[in-house]
Structure 1
Amino acid sequence: MAMTTRCPEDDEYESSGSSSGTTTAAAAAATTTTGQNSSTNSRISDLSFSSSSSTASVRKPASVSITVGKPHKANQAAWEAMKLLRREKGTVGLDHFRLLRRVGSGDIGNVYLCQLRYPFFSTCLYAMKVVDREALVVRNKLQRAEMEKEILATLDHPFLPTLYAQFEASHYSCLVMEYCPGGDLHTVRQRQPNRRFSVSSAKFYAAEVLLALEYLHMMGVVYRDLKPENVLVREDGHIMLSDFDLSLKCDVVPKLLKPKPSTDEDSAEQQCEVADHAYSCALPMQPVISCFSVAKGVNGSRKNPKHITVITATTMSTTTTTTTTNTASSTTTTVKKLAKEPSPEVVVEPINARSKSFVGTHEYLAPEVISGMGHGSAVDWWTFGVFLYEMLYGRTPFRGDNNEKTLINIIKQPLSFQKIVAGCSDFDEMVRAQDLISKLLMKNPKKRIGFLKGSVEIKSHEFFRGVNWALIRSVRPPEVPSQLMSKSSSSRGKPQGNQVQRDAAYTVPAHFDYF
């Protein structure tokens, strides 16, 4: 069934009594749309960045530079251009950018495609998030914009936004991030056959999203708003999460989980199965000692080895010495020890995070969010299950005729899947996918996969078998929009106007609609 675009104004909401208060603003959205507040439009639509109208409570310095290094962006043109601009000009401000067009809007601001005003850097495109601080004060959402800056400034991950610069212009706050020309996964899904992804494509996107969520949890950020509309596609086809205005910031403490050692009553077969990961159950082949060799003592004197057996070409028997016997005994002891003591696991999951905020998108809300009893990081694994379900089946699992029925279905309706045709090429993969989704969409968060160990449990599921997590960026994505976007980017990237016009201070025209 075709999925209509979910309007954030209808689906994203937050209770006035939110206990978290640590949410972030939308990040570098390329195609998301939202309902607009008509009263706000009439009040500030005719203002430009150069307006002098600003309240004292929200006035900030004219520009603020970001000096934090971003190793994942090293040697990339957009990052190096910003570094060079900062070295030459000292600070980065609005007058250094040319706004080209609006590419998206969110609950607390709009996103514009922009480029540096200097011809040498004109091919570098950025996404500038513009937030009206005065409007956010009226709407009591200024804290979300402030938290966005704090979170984005700390992120350095291939599948998360990069904050190139931030500055203030009058009562506007501007965040310069990377631009994703490939749109979002909701739009990409609409172009697929039957408006759903193949299993291999869904696995690719789910794997990259999982790594992004893993990093966020390690940084103490619970995302809380995963959906295809918030997963953007970069020029190279890889993904980037966006829209952090509903995220929860919390503390996270790394833990070392030591599995319980096996007892002596365990069968030898189980011990051999564990030991197989490091050693073979059979004793390893011992080094062959030549019958012509002689051993040297500690002081260099030659000693005659004891119990040497001569090796012939026909028997190929191994030499048995006192040293060999001791080595075999030591190896056997090591194998048994490894079998009884599995390796500990390092888990960095904010399992103690708690919030009673009623936030999210209706079709993606976890049962514990709807109940209002409090939720933690497990909500991200619920939304991850709904996300995977929608990519594979083209719809969310609990969608009702309206928002109220959707919430009731999430609480009461059991999970169901479309019947898999036996013998189809992806039969086994779909079975594994359904098993993972079933474990992610457990209504009791304590029984949900990932509740205690986070992404460690999910990455080890059979559905992700064969995924090389360390080299996933080397895998060719299902769709690479670079060829299509390079033509439009090159035409938009050409410097416009003469040198005097390019160097002049920029003022946003009145028709630019901020909210």
Structure 2
Amino acid sequence: MVTSKPTSKPHKFADHNNNISEFSTAQHLTPSARMFSNHNHSTISLGATTETTRKFLVPARNTIQGHRSGTSFSSESLESICNAHIKPHTRGDVRWDAINSVAKGNDLNLSHFRLLKRVGYGDIGSVYLVELKGSKTFFAMKVMDKESLASRNKLLRARTEREILELLDHPFLPTLYSYFETNKYYCLVMEFCSSGSLHSLRLKQPNKHFTEEATRFYCSEILLALEYLHMLGIVYRDLKPENVLVRDEGHIMLSDFDLSLRCSVNPTLVKSSSAHESSNGPSGGILNDEQAIHGCRQPSSFFPHILPSKRNHKSKSDFGLMVGGCLPELMAEPTNVRSMSFVGTHEYLAPEIIRGEGHGSAVDWWTFGIFLYELLHGITPFKGAGNKATLFNVVGQPLRFPEKPTVSKVAKDLIQGLLVKEPKTRYAYKRGATEIKQHPFFHGVNWALVRSATPPIIPEPLDFSKYGRKAKYSPMDKKIADIVASDKSKHTRPNPSYEDFEYF
């Protein structure tokens, strides 16, 4: 069986002389991973690690090499290990403590988990609620059948999702705690969101739609997640309430990245004076267009440089960066990237995807408009009697709003701007999330403190004790047993009942 070590708590970087490129990990690190603080020069730099981290990496490399005699171990598994140390948003996560306590420096594998029940399914795999043995800590494990993926030509999708998960470090995006594989399965260990999806939560609301206040809250968090993804050169392409999970405390987490497109990106500083310019006007970018890198290649994360603090340095305003007392904004829209793939959910597909014209990051702003519309109205705007009719409506029918429920003018204005059928005139085409944040619909949102805001709905806590009860076996019990048996591990038979939501 192929395994990987659990990802662990991050360390602060201090020594800029030790480069870890020999382990082929630098190109996969998050922006925060590639930066470290040199207190003597007040400088942000790249590709460095502490001696403590280095001491961890060398044994890890040796451990991996030791596996090669019995089975193949991909270099990506090592990247997962290395990424363990550079995700500050997960610092202090009790799940890391549980993993470190149980694993004790060894590889995690299927035998460390007790599979309880299937809680969701998707095109490339199923998701199970699992318990880390000896810790009373619960996770979501996505299990993908290798043979099934290969026969349907979906191995690349599975790999893309894992590579993206390894990059992520954001409050509204999932954390990949561990990755391993058996002879039959690929397994991803992630956070379990016991409250289900935003879709199931919407169906529980009066008239099956959210209030405008609740919609603003959820869309604020989704917008920040999409902005972060675009900064990494990731076009999400599959936004819908079913893919937005609700955490125990009521905040959300965007999930399911197997349809995402990875591209190179070169973030640009934009003068604040352009904040009120139309998307059709000049972007006001400080960097030249010639400096931008576009294409479907390995994404190049952005690395800001803080200059040494000296008295004779010019102020920001001397460089033309300060306009009206405002700092410049960082924007990253891989607008020139083009994919010809026909991917997504029919009701959320952008017109350019349906027409086969090629598409870029603007598809995420189209789906964001559909998402906003559905949360407010309980329906999507272009749904037809069937899939073919829906696609026809998306391309050929104008946007209409129902009389009920009543929606504010600013909400309608934002939706109308996002659901422009021509991507180049679509709202946020050039300035992305920066432009959407400044729309009146989000007036009053403190973007720096969104994670600290009180959610509009606090879900009922899930009683995990019920999963310890014995019950009759179902066909899914056999599936779970087969997964465990394939790894020749001891297991406890799970409760066969299912939650009434899809995990992704």
Aligned to 1:107: 123
C-alpha distance after superposition, 1:73-110 (max 9, x if no partner): 22221122113334x14111111111001111110111
- What residue identity is the alignment partner of 2:447? W
TM-score when normalising by structure 2: 0.67
C-alpha distance after superposition, 1:238-289 (max 9, x if no partner): 101111111101111111234779xxxxxxxxxxxxxxxxxxxxxxxxxxxx
1:82 is the counterpart of 2:93: no
2:364 to 373, 380, 384: 380
Aligned to 1:468: 446
Pairing of 1:149-168 with structure 2 (within 5 A): 149-168=162-181
Aligned to 2:385: 401
Aligned to 1:247: 260
Q: How far off its partner does 1:492 sit?
A: 3.6
Aligned to 2:352: 368
Distance 1:338 1:147 in 2: 39
Greater relative contact order structure (CA < 8 Å, 6+ sep): 1
The 1:401/1:169 distance shift into structure 2, 3 A limit, reads same
Contiguous gaps of at least 5 residues in structure 1: 1-58, 262-332, 422-426, 496-503
Contact 2:114 2:492 (8 Å CA) reproduced: no
Q: How far off its partner does 1:66 sit?
A: 3.2
- What residue identity is the alignment partner of 2:98? A
Q: How far off its partner does 1:348 sit?
A: 1.4
Distance 1:187 1:338 in 2: 45
- Paired residues in the alignment total 363
Contact 2:373 2:380 (8 Å CA) reproduced: yes
Q: How far off its partner does 1:338 sit?
A: 7.2
Q: How far off its partner does 1:171 sit?
A: 2.2
Equivalent pairs: percent with the same residue?
Answer: 53
Contact 2:273 2:323 (8 Å CA) reproduced: no
The 1:82/1:437 distance shift into structure 2, 3 A limit, reads same
Contact 1:218 1:348 (8 Å CA) reproduced: yes
The 1:371/1:214 distance shift into structure 2, 3 A limit, reads same
The 1:343/1:212 distance shift into structure 2, 3 A limit, reads closer
Aligned to 1:211: 224
SS of residue paired to 2:139: strand
Aligned to 2:156: 143
Question: Is the radius of gyration larger for structure 1 or structure 2?
Answer: 1
1:432 is the counterpart of 2:410: yes
1:175 is the counterpart of 2:188: yes
Pairing of 1:279-294 with structure 2 (within 5 A): none
Distance 2:238 2:162 in 1: 18
2:337 to 353, 370, 382: 353
- What residue identity is the alignment partner of 1:466? G
The 1:343/1:117 distance shift into structure 2, 3 A limit, reads closer
Aligned to 2:430: 452
C-alpha distance after superposition, 1:409-452 (max 9, x if no partner): 1111111112379xxxxx7x711100000000011111111111
SS of residue paired to 2:461: helix
Contact 1:196 1:391 (8 Å CA) reproduced: yes
Q: How far off its partner does 1:388 sit?
A: 0.4
- What residue identity is the alignment partner of 1:71? P
Aligned to 1:484: 461
- What residue identity is the alignment partner of 1:381? W
Contact 1:189 1:391 (8 Å CA) reproduced: yes
Contact 1:159 1:239 (8 Å CA) reproduced: yes
The 1:339/1:135 distance shift into structure 2, 3 A limit, reads closer
Contact 2:235 2:364 (8 Å CA) reproduced: yes
Distance 2:426 2:128 in 1: 39
- What residue identity is the alignment partner of 1:434? K
Contact 1:97 1:117 (8 Å CA) reproduced: yes
- What residue identity is the alignment partner of 2:350? A
- What residue identity is the alignment partner of 1:100? L
TM-score when normalising by structure 1: 0.66
Aligned to 1:320: none
Distance 2:165 2:325 in 1: 41
Aligned to 2:81: 66
- What residue identity is the alignment partner of 2:421? K
The 1:441/1:494 distance shift into structure 2, 3 A limit, reads same
Distance 2:207 2:461 in 1: 23
Q: Could you say what the CA RMSD is over the residues aligned between the two structures, in angstroms? A: 3.1
- What residue identity is the alignment partner of 1:441? L
Pairing of 1:214-233 with structure 2 (within 5 A): 214-233=227-246
- What residue identity is the alignment partner of 1:98? R
Contact 1:115 1:493 (8 Å CA) reproduced: no
The 1:510/1:475 distance shift into structure 2, 3 A limit, reads closer
The 1:92/1:363 distance shift into structure 2, 3 A limit, reads same
Aligned to 2:26: none
Distance 1:420 1:511 in 2: 42
- What residue identity is the alignment partner of 2:102? L
